[in-house]
Structure 1
Amino acid sequence: MKRNRTYLEAILLLLMPYAVLAQAGTQTLPALIPLPVDVKQSTGFFNINPATKIVIGNSGLSGLAGLLNGYLACCNGMQVSVATKTTGSDFISLEIDSAVVTHKEGYQLRIDKNAIRCIGHDAGGVLYALQTLRQLWSVGKNKLKVPAYIINDHPRFAYRGMGLDVSRHFFPVAFIKKYIDCLALYKFNTFHWHLTDDQGWRIEIKKYPGLQSVAAWRNETLIGHKKELPHRFDGKRYGGYYTQQQIKEVVQYAAARHITIIPEIEMPGHASAALAAYPTLGCTGGPYKTATFWGVFDEVYCAGNDSTFTFLQNVLDEVINLFPSTYIHIGGDECPKTSWKACAKCQQRMKAMGLADEHALQSYFIQRMEKYLNSKGRHIIGWDEILEGGLAPNATVMSWRGEEGGKAAIAQQHRVIMTPESHCYFDYYQSLYAGETLAAGGFTPLQKVYGYEPLAGSAENMNPDLLAGVEGQAWSEYYTSEAKALYMIFPRALALAELGWTPASQRNYDQFLQRLRAQRSLMQQAGLPNSSQYDDITGTVAPSQNKAVQVTLQTSLPGSTIRYTTNNTLPGKQSALYTGPITISQTGTLKARLLNGNGQPTGRLFQQSFRLHKAVGSPVVLQHKPVERFNPGAGVLVNGVFGSNRYNDGQWTGFSGTDLQAVIDLGAVQEIRRLGAHVLNYHWQRMWAPVSLQFLASTDGEQYSELYKQDSFPVNGINILDVPVKPVQARYIKVAGINKGTIPAGEYGAGGNALLLIDEIVVE
């Protein structure tokens, strides 16, 4: 009988012939991701051929036998017979033996010239043995050649997850299956399916048809980045949803690959789409509309209205029937309290329940929904905001705003999944190159993902058993196509896969890159991006003598060389060979090209412009400490490099709610004729230009006189100050900026602290 398969499953099976070996010190390791716990190479090979049998050693493994047969068929059209008893040699056995393999989800893979034995602690372990086998075999004529190994392996964490947001951009069932195939290959065991949000409701709920006809659709979609003003839209109706039958199909598909799907139904915030369909669930009664751009919105479920809870309970009843997972994700994040503060019903609820404030009201909301799900035999997962006002008794916390939420939850004896946006958000840029495709913001390169260690250095009384595992987030605001989604997620998801599986002591980034490069062409055949941006040239800038800077260039590509120019021309094979830090002593642009071991150009052109001036490399003293995410060190303010409009390059210094005051010591009294700076103005990113920016000069560091002041910054984006001043003798330059303070009502993030961002301070 002909077997139907997904495209990605078929291609992924073709990729395995190219697995090569990576050398790690004196030990030779196969190019496997994630790296197994223990690998011992033997001699010889086993050849899978049409006469080979799959032998099922335990009941319940026939599905995995069918899966393996499908893998073989996709590789070279081979189908082999399935038996229940071994006879002699030339077989692949699948068996469960918890005495041989003691760790849950663990496996032992034994390959010699006579047979392949896949022994799992459980069925999941057997599956992971098969995934390792797939990464080992190579295709030959009428056979698959598998090198001999003994591999004993088990996961570091019980929870190894990847999310996917289908609300902002909707992905068809075929893509969801492709995604699941990839997760299974790299030994993830959880798919977190973000099904509802302001921009679209993606799950059929039969009791509420308006969720399909209204909430699943938006009138148009934002074009470009939300920071850009005016906002531009495509004018095209957009949406879609998964039928319950489709969801059942996907759940079954994932279960066959031992992946649990955890659905997320957002509450009490991120509810615009649902309110558009059922406006009585909101505090004002509407009208509401499904959001057409990205952000956080004041329209949330009314916590004082019992019909809200009836609606959500009815929704969850249908969700529970579709998803057998123990856990249901209920969101709980980014819920503004504006509507609740103005809502008579919410205020009455607070009074009746003796709740101190709106944070306590949110806790009431979450706990009420938790009790309902507990009564159905399920448990909740929520983002770390569910800690506010008091944590629901049995909740698992998904810590995304750094690690503090996770630490607080563990201290309260709650299970935690670590997914800090600084390391695990794959909607962030993975490269600083100008040609990088549009992303949400931030900068999370592959090495940063790989180097993450959950709760590293935490207090000794922190219970490690409560750290369930890790998860990567794939938010889809800027995932405008399936190809874009895959480019943003991979290969960073592979780094996370190894983080979640391999013991910390065995992880090594350089070795990981060797194994990743060995899989790169295979990933390309799988429809995954053949992206090698992790090997591109990167540069760091440090002050040098005589108002110059030194630039250090790096690449992780073995056997490569770097050629560069400093005169703004394109580098070639005859350009200067990089052998050490480059001194930049005048304004201009450094360009560099990577050449592979064969001397051929590879990767993207590196370029960095510099503006050298009198303050470059001078000491800088800041009166207030910058906010953590924009605190690259005071010296960055005078390093000759301007920050980009992506604000993710480590060149911007930011102050949250506090003023800027920087004093630059030029080292000697000298004539000043020109001053400059760049300040950032993106209200849709909570970034506000200063109310005023003032430059002052002093010869002694005590008495200052004003040189220039500006209080208008009209540009949405980078406001460039580059102004001549009356010549003055000075040693010290003080730059003072008054922060906007609290973001005013009616603006995005109203009530929160404004960010004041500044980069290069120019003194000439």
Structure 2
Amino acid sequence: MINTCTVVLKYIRYTLCFCLLMNVVHAQVKEQGIIPQPYSIQKNGEVFRFSPAVAINIRDGISTDNLIFFNQYFHQLAGYNLSVKKTIAPSIQLSINSNKITEPEGYQLSIASKQINIIGHDQAGVFYGLQSLVQLLHKSNGKITVQGCTIEDHPRFAYRGMHLDVSRHFFKVNAIKKWIDLLALYKINTFHWHLTDDQGWRIEIKKYPLLQSISAYRDETIIGHKKDSPHRFDGKRYGGYYTQEEVKAVVKYAMERHISIIPEIEMPGHALAALAAYPELGCTGGPYKTATYWGIFDDVYCAGNEQTFTFLKNVLDEVLPLFPSKYIHIGGDECPKTKWKTCPKCQRRIKDEHLKDEHELQSYFIGRMEKYLNSKGRQIIGWDEILEGGLAPGATVMSWTGEEGGIAAAKLHHNAIMTPEKYVYLDYYQSLYPSEPLAGGGYTPLSKVYNYEPITKELSGDEAKYIKGVQANAWSEYLASMAQAEHQIFPRILALAEIGWTDKENKSYPNFLKRLRYEQPLLKQLNINLADTFDEITDSVMESADRQIQLALSSTLPGSQIYYTTDGTTPGLKSKKYDKPFLISTSGKIKAAVFSGTKQYGRVYEKDFHLHKAIGKTVTLTNQPQGGYNPGNTFGMVNGVFGSKLYNDGQWYGFNGDDLEAVVDLGKAQPVSQLGINILKYHWQKMWEPTLLTFEISTDGKNYTEVYRQTTFNDNGINAVRANIKTTQARYIRVKGTNKGIIPPGEYIAGAKAWLMVDEIVVK
């Protein structure tokens, strides 16, 4: 275990150098904390003080080879080296005792006035004990101290992972190593490296040189968001790949930090980059081009072609020696069956193998590759679509579309890793402020990541043991630089670290934030471009007892106060002080800001309200909204808040293949002269306008009269339908929208169900 201490010492160097520069910050913090929160901490009131007399004692087979680095780093802080010798006190004792520390990766860290003891169950346990010690180091008035305590600690889950997509945007080796350092510091032990996709092939395969010269590059890259229409491009060739020697170096670097790297070689879908170089592997023979925009593509590996399997086996034969990990990720997600349905070879395969349909053909494909990897002593992991057509024996499911895949796998007694996009996708927006950098469509604030619980109530105690861990995913469509990637990953990956390591009974979001604030200066000192906006204002639009709209504002910043205005002016210390939720009585813009003392923290919060006759009224739906576009009630349809173009704010209601039929009860008959609704049209996100939209009115809820219809919606984005009608008495308003149904041929994701997206039924 030559490298058990190596990286930790690097962190000690970072931390100690940081302490030299940040004494004032440290002095303001009464108590230092550890991320992730340990299993137990018992303080003893003692203090360990570093001095030239302190020595390091390494026992039980732990290598002393790297202690010279420890002294090098320590010297930067203290101006002297710590000696390495067998001594009792004052000293730092490192040892392994699996009988005393029974949990894998577990450790005990004991700090007294004369001695620091770290006992690990294994080498990883010693390593993680040192990570905790790093976070506890404190410098004040030129003295380096550690507060006395005993920490008993071990991880909740064996698998604690972070995924990084390098296909959409390519990150160089130095960036990968930098992020691996941070994963190790926070006890994340798995790095899932997404190496191949439609937009680029990123690993050298010597048997297939065209993967380097063709598949690793694309002609240009989309500008802006995929949902924009028409698409715009930068006209610049883009790409790159890792040589096998570079991969070996990264894998070795990670292993020294007790991180296993799992490579992902995507199959049978997301294959355009590979097909661009080797078109004979596709169903049509091409020609194909490496994708220049983001999305899902119909052209996939041909499952009826033996050359496909020969190619993939040869690729894996070069990949496996580079990665000693037990698992190999084979993707398996988002594989359209369109080409397979019309491909003679695929249809012949279905017939010859006595398969029921194309879904079973995918299962055949995955099962065949699994057998090959099993023959090489490896196991497969795949995204939850590998459940389609039957789960391959021995496969581990990585559940991303929701939790259902992981639940289904666990009930079948298959191992599962929980990574649902709704909770742990780091490429999604982490705030709803308009100035937030471009990101994916979802919304996963730090609090939502932190509060995710991987063991769902649907699983029994016996089934729960098949949930092996949790992972956060960073897809790189909108991570065009290291700085952008870090802004998205940090600090949310620290929340993931605590999900994976800390027992749920020991978790506390306020306590986590307290520890995170202490970590912020260190992360910045390590040149991490973290998002430090998690204490900014968040809101809740609620219905009052008398069915009016009220707005609640909050901030997690300790000792702060919120000031707000209702006339659209910029809030300041002389504005109205927020102390409780308040009613929204007129249309207009609310602005608010957080102040710590006299200093404003973060960005100014803004929200527009549009009041009308249907505010707070009862809405009845014939069909229920689905997926991530089901807010759980109909209040958002009549709350005066319009959904944004980012469709991630919980205001939009989505109907996947189903029609909209909503009835608003105004409570009594009254004059109505304008009816409206907002429709979201983004064909590149499968969001289609209705083929027919109608408004009907009634006084009794039984007999309706149509007063407006519309069949065309021209704007890409939000179509704000406002129908001016002859003033009429009405109590009930019925809105009908006919779903596009199946997306037609030639359109993005043809053959899939269309989403009908609506928000705010307006009555004036």
Whether TM-score is above 0.5 comes out as yes
Does structure 1 conserve the Cα–Cα contact (< 8 Å) formed by 2:416 and 2:466?
Answer: yes
Q: Report the number of matched residues.
A: 755
Deviation at 1:532, TM superposition (A): 3.0
Does structure 2 conserve the Cα–Cα contact (< 8 Å) formed by 1:609 and 1:641?
Answer: yes
Does structure 2 conserve the Cα–Cα contact (< 8 Å) formed by 1:618 and 1:665?
Answer: yes
Does structure 2 conserve the Cα–Cα contact (< 8 Å) formed by 1:21 and 1:29?
Answer: no
Aligned-partner Cα distance in 2 for 1:489–1:63: 34
> Quick one: which amino acid aligns to residue 662 of structure 1?
A
SS in 1 for 2:474: coil
Aligned-partner Cα distance in 2 for 1:117–1:124: 15
Measured against aligned partners, the alpha-carbon deviations of 1:383-421 in whole angstroms (never above 9, x if no partner) come to 111111111111111111111111111111111111011
Correspondence list, 1:344-743, <5 A: 344-460=344-460, 462-544=462-544, 548-596=548-596, 598-632=597-631, 633-743=633-743
Q: 1:571 to 1:319 in 2, by over 3 A?
A: same
Does structure 2 conserve the Cα–Cα contact (< 8 Å) formed by 1:22 and 1:29?
Answer: no
SS in 2 for 1:629: helix
> Quick one: which amino acid aligns to residue 104 of structure 2?
K
Aligned-partner Cα distance in 1 for 2:68–2:128: 15
Aligned-partner Cα distance in 2 for 1:550–1:230: 39
Aligned-partner Cα distance in 2 for 1:8–1:55: 20
SS in 2 for 1:319: helix
Correspondence list, 1:119-134, <5 A: 119-134=119-134
Aligned-partner Cα distance in 2 for 1:276–1:515: 49
Does structure 1 conserve the Cα–Cα contact (< 8 Å) formed by 2:395 and 2:415?
Answer: yes
Confirm whether residue 44 of structure 1 aligns to residue 46 of structure 2: yes
Aligned-partner Cα distance in 1 for 2:258–2:28: 29
Confirm whether residue 324 of structure 1 aligns to residue 308 of structure 2: no
Deviation at 1:528, TM superposition (A): 1.9
* Aligned equivalent of 2:60: 58
SS in 2 for 1:535: coil
Confirm whether residue 198 of structure 1 aligns to residue 198 of structure 2: yes
> Quick one: which amino acid aligns to residue 44 of structure 1?
E
Aligned-partner Cα distance in 2 for 1:464–1:245: 40
SS in 2 for 1:101: coil
Moved more, 232-241 or 534-543: 534-543
Does structure 1 conserve the Cα–Cα contact (< 8 Å) formed by 2:203 and 2:242?
Answer: yes
* Aligned equivalent of 1:285: 285
Aligned-partner Cα distance in 2 for 1:407–1:679: 34
* Aligned equivalent of 2:3: none
Aligned-partner Cα distance in 2 for 1:121–1:437: 43
Does structure 1 conserve the Cα–Cα contact (< 8 Å) formed by 2:674 and 2:763?
Answer: yes
Aligned-partner Cα distance in 2 for 1:561–1:271: 52
> Quick one: which amino acid aligns to residue 45 of structure 2?
T
Aligned-partner Cα distance in 2 for 1:350–1:77: 72
Deviation at 1:89, TM superposition (A): 1.7
* Aligned equivalent of 1:34: 36
Aligned-partner Cα distance in 1 for 2:210–2:305: 19
Moved more, 518-527 or 430-439: 518-527
Does structure 1 conserve the Cα–Cα contact (< 8 Å) formed by 2:62 and 2:95?
Answer: no
Correspondence list, 1:215-294, <5 A: 215-294=215-294
SS in 2 for 1:534: coil
SS in 1 for 2:341: helix
Measured against aligned partners, the alpha-carbon deviations of 1:38-77 in whole angstroms (never above 9, x if no partner) come to 1111233223345533322122434664664565356567
Moved more, 5-14 or 216-225: 5-14
Aligned-partner Cα distance in 1 for 2:228–2:94: 56
Deviation at 1:458, TM superposition (A): 1.9
SS in 2 for 1:522: helix
Q: 1:22 to 1:361 in 2, by over 3 A?
A: farther
SS in 2 for 1:463: helix
Deviation at 1:685, TM superposition (A): 0.5
SS in 2 for 1:258: coil
Does structure 2 conserve the Cα–Cα contact (< 8 Å) formed by 1:11 and 1:527?
Answer: no
Q: 1:73 to 1:373 in 2, by over 3 A?
A: farther
* Aligned equivalent of 1:149: 149
Aligned-partner Cα distance in 1 for 2:10–2:475: 24
Aligned-partner Cα distance in 2 for 1:13–1:737: 63
Q: 1:120 to 1:674 in 2, by over 3 A?
A: same
Q: 1:256 to 1:51 in 2, by over 3 A?
A: farther
Does structure 2 conserve the Cα–Cα contact (< 8 Å) formed by 1:566 and 1:591?
Answer: yes
Deviation at 1:683, TM superposition (A): 0.6
Identity %: 56
Deviation at 1:79, TM superposition (A): 4.5
* Aligned equivalent of 1:168: 168
Aligned-partner Cα distance in 2 for 1:106–1:488: 30
> Quick one: which amino acid aligns to residue 606 of structure 2?
Q
Aligned-partner Cα distance in 2 for 1:650–1:14: 44
Aligned-partner Cα distance in 2 for 1:75–1:289: 54
Aligned-partner Cα distance in 2 for 1:692–1:537: 40
Deviation at 1:308, TM superposition (A): 1.1
> Quick one: which amino acid aligns to residue 625 of structure 1?
Q
Does structure 1 conserve the Cα–Cα contact (< 8 Å) formed by 2:614 and 2:762?
Answer: yes
Does structure 2 conserve the Cα–Cα contact (< 8 Å) formed by 1:8 and 1:178?
Answer: no
Deviation at 1:740, TM superposition (A): 0.5
Q: 1:655 to 1:64 in 2, by over 3 A?
A: farther
> Quick one: which amino acid aligns to residue 346 of structure 1?
C
Deviation at 1:555, TM superposition (A): 1.2
Aligned-partner Cα distance in 2 for 1:21–1:557: 18
Deviation at 1:81, TM superposition (A): 4.1
Does structure 2 conserve the Cα–Cα contact (< 8 Å) formed by 1:659 and 1:736?
Answer: yes
Does structure 1 conserve the Cα–Cα contact (< 8 Å) formed by 2:489 and 2:530?
Answer: no
Q: 1:66 to 1:251 in 2, by over 3 A?
A: farther
Measured against aligned partners, the alpha-carbon deviations of 1:150-193 in whole angstroms (never above 9, x if no partner) come to 11100000000111111111101111011000000000011111
Measured against aligned partners, the alpha-carbon deviations of 1:220-247 in whole angstroms (never above 9, x if no partner) come to 1111100001101111111111111111
Q: 1:294 to 1:67 in 2, by over 3 A?
A: farther
Aligned-partner Cα distance in 1 for 2:75–2:315: 41
Does structure 2 conserve the Cα–Cα contact (< 8 Å) formed by 1:161 and 1:188?
Answer: yes
Aligned-partner Cα distance in 2 for 1:139–1:670: 71
Aligned-partner Cα distance in 2 for 1:22–1:658: 56
Aligned-partner Cα distance in 2 for 1:270–1:63: 45
Does structure 1 conserve the Cα–Cα contact (< 8 Å) formed by 2:198 and 2:272?
Answer: yes
Q: 1:110 to 1:380 in 2, by over 3 A?
A: same
Measured against aligned partners, the alpha-carbon deviations of 1:648-700 in whole angstroms (never above 9, x if no partner) come to 11111111111111111111111111122210000111100111111111111
Deviation at 1:744, TM superposition (A): 1.0
> Quick one: which amino acid aligns to residue 626 of structure 1?
P
TM-score (norm 1): 0.95
* Aligned equivalent of 1:91: 91
SS in 2 for 1:366: helix
Deviation at 1:117, TM superposition (A): 1.5
Aligned-partner Cα distance in 1 for 2:26–2:498: 18
Measured against aligned partners, the alpha-carbon deviations of 1:281-338 in whole angstroms (never above 9, x if no partner) come to 1111111111111111111111111111111111111111111111111111111111
Aligned-partner Cα distance in 2 for 1:191–1:98: 26
Deviation at 1:262, TM superposition (A): 0.6
SS in 1 for 2:727: strand
Q: 1:456 to 1:73 in 2, by over 3 A?
A: farther
Q: 1:317 to 1:12 in 2, by over 3 A?
A: farther
TM-score (norm 2): 0.95
> Quick one: which amino acid aligns to residue 298 of structure 1?
D
* Aligned equivalent of 2:211: 211
